[in-house]
Structure 1
Amino acid sequence: MAEVPWLTIIGLGEDGPEGLSPASRQALDEAEVVMGASRLLALLPALTAETQAWPVPFAEGIPKLLNLRGRRVVMLASGDPFWFGAGTILAEQLEAGEWRALPAPSSLSLAAARLGWPLERTPCLALHAAPFARLRPHLASGAKLLVLLRDGTAVGQLAAWLAERGFGPTELWVMEALGGPRERLRRATAETMTLADIHHPVCVGLQIAGDGRAIPTASGRPDDFFDHDGQITKRPLRALTLSALAPVAGAHLWDIGAGAGSVGIEWLLCHPANRATAIETRPDRAARIRSNAETLGVDRLEVIEGQAPEALETLPVPDAVFIGGGLSDALLTDLWSRLPAGTRLVSNAVTLESESLLTAWQARKGGSLLRIDLSEAGPLGSKRSWHAAYPLVQWSVTL
């Protein structure tokens, strides 16, 4: 029989010891030390093991746990430790074979069971310490979401946030202490939310309704979703640029000369595992990029104030690079020496000088050179005519 690791991570539901598996009960009986949040420790009967309350903030408890190596330790987590739980963080700190996890049903699983919602098709978000704006990409009439919140006060704040954005008729199912004797489920709408005395832990089911504006799921979102000073890759060109950059799940983008940050933001909207770094020289534009990212629910966008290529020195290697501003022969030369084979690079040129530069590089390095001419209908006196935008040349290449 394989040796039991020194650390056992036990998922504990609101029903306390009643819901524990035989393996979890045995681990508690054999433990020398039991660590966990005070709320979870209080759910258990008196233990023979030493108990230690997990501190706040959470990170302060990790070194205390690691100092217990060599003893038989149980760490209590709420529900499933790997469903927005502590298990993921702890596993990153430990070697394989040092730990095992014995999960209980998560609050999200219990919430789906109460509402009859298909968990595999329902976006689930943990907003204990994250902004409500992370919901923004999911807000479309008819959508269903499950959201974990830090406490009862946050439920009212979420309702107000939804109503302010035109989603006041959204239905909220407020579910408290699921799976335990304190369980309660109540219903309200965002615009009429008056529920009080909401107890932690709390999960909210949302069925989105209202005339609030939904963010399209296709690349090339309307320009007015982004605050900008005119320095923005416009919607049709942005769609073509994202297509050339070809984002895939988990990929990392450098957006050089980011302007309003629209390309990096749309890259992140393609998949929740995607990463992006926006490099921008002007502090006012860098601040605007951060604001746009937060408003559109992708506050994970990293914004670097600086000039490429100097600002690239300490950045993780990307999977794709977009040059939206600051194109030069020196920058292309640096990127070609810095980036590994397989990196996708896309650059757009408007001026004759930058077009000439891309033409020369394409002749040497290959890739696709695309000329884009766009016109939009507009008034001409009492009639209408085509108003042409500046033609643009796009070079896309895989190193």
Structure 2
Amino acid sequence: MNPKCHIIGVLEGEPLFGEVAQIIGRAALVVGGTRLLSAIRISPGAQTFDLTGRFGEVTRLIKEALAAQNEVVVLATGDPMCHGIGGYLTSRLDPGTWQIWPQVSMVQIAAARFGLAWQGYFIYSVHGPDTGEWDAHSGPEHGLYPLLKALHQKDQLALYCSPANDPARIARMLITAGLEQDFEFKVASNIGGGNEWLHQGISTLEAAKAQFAEPNVAFLTRQSPRAQRTILARPDEAYYQRKPESGLITKREHRAVALGLLGLKRDSVVWDLGAGSGSVGIEAAGLCPEGLVFAIEKNEADFANVLSNKARFLAYNHFPFLGKAPELLVHWPNPDAVFIGGSGGALADLIRLSLKRLNPKGRLVIALISLENQSLAIETLCQLGQDWQLTQLQVSRSQPILDMHRLAPIPPISLLWTEVT
């Protein structure tokens, strides 16, 4: 019989019996974290490997042991296939060379301690590299960003926490993101140890200052329904904007058409160049909940409005930058859609850069007011061999006059757009 890698779920403080105990007893190599290796009785002749801080070496070590006809055991806490090492290893080891021996998951144990029906909870793990505290300048590269996205989209979450990303750090992220009133915490700590602690009904502010013994599981439950906001073409007055210059904002009618021309999908990466008040990028973020929006604005007063509007509409996937394009764009991921609302005198350069960076089938939409910029943009697209279309929007809004109404025109705008092949 060929040797196997046995991925075994165990619980600290729980004895091992039967076939699982026999497998561990005859294994030539036992892999696990520091806590489990010290908690489980292992044969004196077995080689042990502490994977703490050395996760990337595990697959190679297991394959070498199996090739040498040695039995391998990998110890995991609870169910190895519930945010554990099981899924990682089964995707990397050859079929037929592994076997899973599950235990009750930590989420199940913690939920049972609280008497909590957990089938409606979204289970998530924040184990992984320590990327530090989440702050106002953090971006999608931060290890906690996927959790922040989930917190905006889910009402109940069960979290496998880690020593670095503990419930207190999660609570501090909620405060930074403006969600401090939205969730209540339940934390089961030192699960399986001799002195378990059940922390119930903790506010986010309380959790941010607390200490929790390892290991722990946190349940986050939304305390009030998520606000159901309009996503597309919000009223201009809903946005902070610089005045009296008739509002440095893409008007709602123009905004609706521009967002339609961008051809957005749920996971689109969007650039908003010359963000102004941020209205186009923020509405794009709402239309692309699985995507990312990167916005740039060079005027400090306008940038302050972008930040205020991002906070007002809880645009978690919208990342604004203060500065000039194209210098800052080099670090952004390639976009699926680009909106140019302001060019700062670099329109031709921005068009060239956008077309160079756009993903296949990506769209570029340019908002143009002056005839000179319209001519320059069309000339640039023609030089680059791009087919283009131009839509001119002449919109009027009703206004009261005495006991009647009249139509008052909004300054017209042209939307020039093209698609890369």
TM-score for the superposition, normalised by structure 2 = 0.62
Cα deviation for residue 112 of structure 1 reads 6.3
Cα deviation for residue 396 of structure 1 reads 4.0
Residue 373, structure 1, aligned to residue 369, structure 2: no
Contact between 2:398 and 2:408, CA under 8 Å: does it hold in 1? yes
Contact between 1:369 and 1:393, CA under 8 Å: does it hold in 2? yes
The answer for unaligned runs of 5 or more in structure 2 is 67-71, 135-143
Contact between 1:374 and 1:391, CA under 8 Å: does it hold in 2? no
Cα deviation for residue 88 of structure 1 reads 7.2
Aligned to 1:274, which of 288, 291, 303?
291
Residue 175, structure 1, aligned to residue 188, structure 2: yes
Which residue does the alignment assign to 2:158? 146
Aligned to 1:252, which of 244, 262, 269?
269
Contact between 1:344 and 1:398, CA under 8 Å: does it hold in 2? yes
Which residue does the alignment assign to 1:202? 216
Cα deviation for residue 270 of structure 1 reads 4.6
Cα deviation for residue 70 of structure 1 reads 1.8
Cα deviation for residue 61 of structure 1 reads 1.7
Cα deviation for residue 190 of structure 1 reads 1.9
CA distance in 2, matches of 1:116, 1:64: 38
Cα deviation for residue 15 of structure 1 reads 6.2
Deviations 1:268-296 (A, max 9, x none): 55556424444556789889878987994
CA distance in 1, matches of 2:308, 2:98: 41
CA distance in 2, matches of 1:24, 1:217: 58
Number of matched pairs: 384
CA RMSD of aligned residues (A): 5.6
Aligned to 1:354, which of 363, 369, 373?
373
Cα deviation for residue 183 of structure 1 reads 5.7
CA distance in 2, matches of 1:306, 1:23: 62
The answer for unaligned runs of 5 or more in structure 1 is none
SS at match of 1:71: helix
CA distance in 2, matches of 1:143, 1:331: 41
Aligned to 2:361, which of 331, 342, 345?
342
AA matched with 1:351: S
What does 1:211-360 align with in structure 2 at a 5 Å threshold?
Answer: 214=227, 216=229, 218-219=231-232, 233=250, 237-259=254-276, 263-264=280-281, 266-270=283-287, 273-278=290-295, 296=314, 298=316, 301=319, 307-308=325-326, 316-326=333-343, 328-336=347-355, 339=358, 341-357=360-376
What does 1:377-392 align with in structure 2 at a 5 Å threshold?
Answer: 389-392=410-413
AA matched with 1:71: A
Percent identity at matched positions? 26
SS at match of 2:54: helix
CA distance in 2, matches of 1:168, 1:286: 26
Which residue does the alignment assign to 1:51? 48
Contact between 1:11 and 1:79, CA under 8 Å: does it hold in 2? yes
Which residue does the alignment assign to 1:26? 23
Cα deviation for residue 346 of structure 1 reads 2.2
Which residue does the alignment assign to 1:116? 117
Contact between 1:171 and 1:207, CA under 8 Å: does it hold in 2? yes
Contact between 2:110 and 2:191, CA under 8 Å: does it hold in 1? yes
Cα deviation for residue 32 of structure 1 reads 1.7
Which is higher, the Rg of structure 1 or of structure 2?
A: 2
SS at match of 2:414: strand
SS at match of 1:365: coil
AA matched with 1:188: G
Structure 1 residues 178 and 364: CA distance shift in structure 2, 3 A:
same
Cα deviation for residue 98 of structure 1 reads 11
AA matched with 1:30: A
Cα deviation for residue 264 of structure 1 reads 4.7
